[in-house]
Amino acid sequence: MRELDDEQIEWRVRKFTEICEETIRQRVENTRKRNMLIERLQIMKCFYDHSSVKQPAAGLTAREIDESQRNKRLQNIIRRRRMALEMIERADPEVAREINNSLETLFSSTLPAGRRALIKRNAAFAEQVVNPPLSAQNWYFLYFNLVLMFCLIAAIVLAVR
């Protein structure tokens, strides 16, 4: 997405939410689940509006926004998009696959072939940057917390007896 200009990014964000809403309305038969997903997508739209790439930060003009601020906003947009897709996938994996296919078809048809390949490589890289693999320190912290949790559970069980 870094290769795209701000208008293209904004267009993609809007198209993403439109496609999600349209697909959910058409494919999710459970009314309660459909309403819940659409409500959450509305919340995601608000987050997108507040993290807009074009929106100046803290009273700065568009020229004063440096590349790192733009990249941070792009990462927020990517993370929120991923969260929305994960939310939809938990509710209905088939709908999430259909949304992904629709997005790939739409976005790949709007770009030249060489640029499409470049954007796919950059998307894979951005995915790694936003969600890097767990380090040894992360695993240690995770195991430590699990041990603490088991000790806490054992202490509670002993206290109840």
Average pLDDT, the chain: 76
Token look-up 């409500």 returns 39
pLDDT over threshold 80, residue 1? no
Q: Which of 38, 18, 17 is nearest to 28 (CA)?
A: 38
Burial of 140 (0-12, 13-18, 19+ CB in 10 A): exposed
Q: What is the mean pLDDT of residues 135-154?
A: 90
Please write the tens of the pLDDT for every residue from 9-67.
778 888 888 888 888 888 888 888 888 888 888 877 776 665 555 554 555 555 555 67
pLDDT over threshold 70, residue 124? no
Cα separations (Å) of 72 from 11, 49, 68, 125, 131? 18, 15, 6, 15, 14
- Cα separation of 33 and 41, whole Å? 12
